[in-house]
Structure 1
Amino acid sequence: MAVLPQTGHTGAVVLGAGLAGMLAAAALARHPEIGAVTVVDRDRLEPGPAPRRGLPQGRHAHVLMSSGVRAIEALLPGTTDRWLAAGAHRIGLPDGYVMLLPQGWLPRWPGEQFVISCSRGLLDWVVRQRLLELPGVRLLARTEASGLCGDTRAVTGVRVRDETGATRVLDAALVVDATGRGSRAPRWLAALGAPPVAEDVVDSGLRYATRIFRAPPAAARDFPVVNVQADPAQDRPGQTAALMPIEDGRWLVTLSGTRGGQPSSDEREFARFAAGMRHPIVAELIAGAEPLGPVAVTNGTANRRRHFDRLPGWPDGLVVCGDAVATYNPVYGHGMTVAALGATILGAEVARHGLGPGLAAAVQHRLAGAATAAWGHATGTDIRFPEAVGRSPTRAERLLWRYQSRLMRTALDRPEIAREVIEVFTLSAPAGRLLRPRVAWATLRGPRRPPLASPPITGVERAMVDRS
Structure 2
Amino acid sequence: MRTAVVLGASVAGLLAARVLSDHAERVVIVEPDDMAAGGRTGTDAGGAAGGPRPGVPQGVQLHVLMAMGRTQLDRWLPGMSDELLGDGAVFCAGERVHQYTDGVRRPLIPGHDLISSTRPFLEQRVRRRVLGLPNVEVVRGRADGLRFTANTVGRRVCGASYLPTGDPATDDERSPAGPAGARRVCLAADLVVDATGRGTRIGAWLEKAGWQAPPVERIAIDLGYATALLRRGPELPDVAVTTALSTPAPAGSPQPDSAAVAEVEGGRWMMVLSGYAARRPGRDPREFVARCAAIPAGPVREIATGCELLGDVVCHRVPDSRRREFTRLSRFPAGLVVVGDAAASFNPVYGQGMTSAALHASCLSAYLRSGGRVDEPARDFFVRQRVVVDAAWQLSAVGDLAQPHVDGPYPAGFRAAQWYSARLGRACALDPEVYRRFLDVVNMRERPGLLSRPGTALRVARALLAANRG
Under a length normalisation based on structure 2, what TM-score does the superposition of the two structures give? 0.88
**Where does residue 8 of structure 2 map in the other structure?**
16
Stretches of structure 1 that go unaligned for 5 or more consecutive residues are 1-8, 452-468
Deviations 1:279-323 (A, max 9, x none): 464132221211110110111342011112222221110001110
**Where does residue 265 of structure 1 map in the other structure?**
283
Deviations 1:106-153 (A, max 9, x none): 12132x222211000011111001112222011113x11111011673
Deviations 1:250-269 (A, max 9, x none): 10010010012221111111
User: What SS does the corresponding residue of 2:312 show, helix, strand or coil?
Assistant: coil
- Cα separation, 2, equivalents of 1:279 and 1:356: 51
Contact kept in structure 1, 2:324 and 2:343, CA below 8 Å: yes
Q: 1:295 to 1:449 in 2, by over 3 A?
A: farther
Q: Does 1:98 align with 2:98?
A: yes
**Where does residue 35 of structure 1 map in the other structure?**
25
**Where does residue 460 of structure 1 map in the other structure?**
none
What is the 5 A alignment of 1:248-263? 248-263=266-281
- Cα separation, 2, equivalents of 1:367 and 1:357: 19
Q: Does 1:342 align with 2:379?
A: no
Q: 1:96 to 1:222 in 2, by over 3 A?
A: closer
Instruction: State the Cα distance separating 1:405 from its structure 2 match.
Output: 2.0
Q: Does 1:294 align with 2:312?
A: yes
Q: Does 1:116 align with 2:115?
A: yes
**Where does residue 375 of structure 1 map in the other structure?**
393
Instruction: State the Cα distance separating 1:414 from its structure 2 match.
Output: 2.0
- Cα separation, 2, equivalents of 1:429 and 1:368: 15
* Further displaced range: 247-256 or 428-437: 428-437
Contact kept in structure 2, 1:90 and 1:116, CA below 8 Å: yes
- Cα separation, 1, equivalents of 2:375 and 2:162: 25
Q: Does 1:384 align with 2:402?
A: yes
What is the 5 A alignment of 1:54-73? 54-73=55-74
Contact kept in structure 1, 2:363 and 2:384, CA below 8 Å: yes
What is the 5 A alignment of 1:45-84? 45=35, 46=37, 47-48=40-41, 49-84=50-85
Partner amino acid, structure 1, of 2:385 = L
Q: Does 1:353 align with 2:371?
A: yes
Partner amino acid, structure 1, of 2:134 = P
Instruction: State the Cα distance separating 1:435 from its structure 2 match.
Output: 2.1
Contact kept in structure 2, 1:147 and 1:159, CA below 8 Å: yes
Instruction: State the Cα distance separating 1:450 from its structure 2 match.
Output: 5.2
Partner amino acid, structure 2, of 1:85 = G
Instruction: State the Cα distance separating 1:417 from its structure 2 match.
Output: 1.9
Q: 1:341 to 1:296 in 2, by over 3 A?
A: same
Q: Does 1:44 align with 2:44?
A: no
Instruction: State the Cα distance separating 1:202 from its structure 2 match.
Output: 0.8
- Cα separation, 2, equivalents of 1:116 and 1:280: 22
Deviations 1:207-244 (A, max 9, x none): 1111111111466x863211111213654425211111
Stretches of structure 2 that go unaligned for 5 or more consecutive residues are 42-49, 168-181
- Cα separation, 2, equivalents of 1:356 and 1:203: 35
Q: 1:342 to 1:37 in 2, by over 3 A?
A: same
**Where does residue 215 of structure 1 map in the other structure?**
232
Contact kept in structure 2, 1:241 and 1:274, CA below 8 Å: yes
Aligned length: 436
Contact kept in structure 1, 2:372 and 2:378, CA below 8 Å: no
Q: Does 1:156 align with 2:158?
A: yes
* Further displaced range: 407-416 or 11-20: 407-416
**Where does residue 421 of structure 2 map in the other structure?**
404
Q: 1:280 to 1:81 in 2, by over 3 A?
A: closer
Instruction: State the Cα distance separating 1:329 from its structure 2 match.
Output: 1.2
* Further displaced range: 342-351 or 407-416: 407-416
- Cα separation, 2, equivalents of 1:156 and 1:356: 10
What is the 5 A alignment of 1:152-301? 153-163=155-165, 165-217=182-234, 223-232=239-248, 234-235=250-251, 236-279=254-297, 281-301=299-319
- Cα separation, 2, equivalents of 1:370 and 1:124: 22
Q: 1:102 to 1:325 in 2, by over 3 A?
A: farther
User: What SS does the corresponding residue of 2:365 show, helix, strand or coil?
Assistant: helix
- Cα separation, 1, equivalents of 2:239 and 2:98: 10
For residue 347 of structure 2, the aligned residue among 299, 309, 329 is: 329
Instruction: State the Cα distance separating 1:277 from its structure 2 match.
Output: 2.8
User: What SS does the corresponding residue of 2:222 show, helix, strand or coil?
Assistant: coil
Partner amino acid, structure 2, of 1:157 = G
- Cα separation, 1, equivalents of 2:238 and 2:160: 47
- Cα separation, 2, equivalents of 1:331 and 1:447: 27
What is the 5 A alignment of 1:434-449? 434-447=451-464
What fraction of aligned residue pairs are identical, expressed as a percent?
A: 35
Contact kept in structure 2, 1:238 and 1:385, CA below 8 Å: no
Partner amino acid, structure 1, of 2:25 = G
- Cα separation, 2, equivalents of 1:187 and 1:39: 21
Contact kept in structure 1, 2:293 and 2:305, CA below 8 Å: no
Partner amino acid, structure 2, of 1:15 = L
Q: 1:35 to 1:354 in 2, by over 3 A?
A: farther
- Cα separation, 2, equivalents of 1:383 and 1:440: 22
- Cα separation, 2, equivalents of 1:222 and 1:102: 21
**Where does residue 449 of structure 2 map in the other structure?**
432
- Cα separation, 1, equivalents of 2:196 and 2:209: 19
- Cα separation, 2, equivalents of 1:373 and 1:232: 23
User: What SS does the corresponding residue of 1:316 show, helix, strand or coil?
Assistant: coil
Q: 1:354 to 1:362 in 2, by over 3 A?
A: closer
Contact kept in structure 1, 2:212 and 2:332, CA below 8 Å: no
Partner amino acid, structure 2, of 1:134 = L
- Cα separation, 2, equivalents of 1:103 and 1:269: 21
- Cα separation, 1, equivalents of 2:108 and 2:428: 12
Contact kept in structure 1, 2:103 and 2:296, CA below 8 Å: no
Contact kept in structure 2, 1:87 and 1:248, CA below 8 Å: yes
What is the 5 A alignment of 1:139-154? 139-141=138-140, 143-150=141-148, 153-154=155-156
* Further displaced range: 274-283 or 300-309: 274-283
Contact kept in structure 2, 1:349 and 1:359, CA below 8 Å: no
Contact kept in structure 2, 1:237 and 1:259, CA below 8 Å: no
Contact kept in structure 2, 1:407 and 1:446, CA below 8 Å: no
- Cα separation, 2, equivalents of 1:98 and 1:265: 26
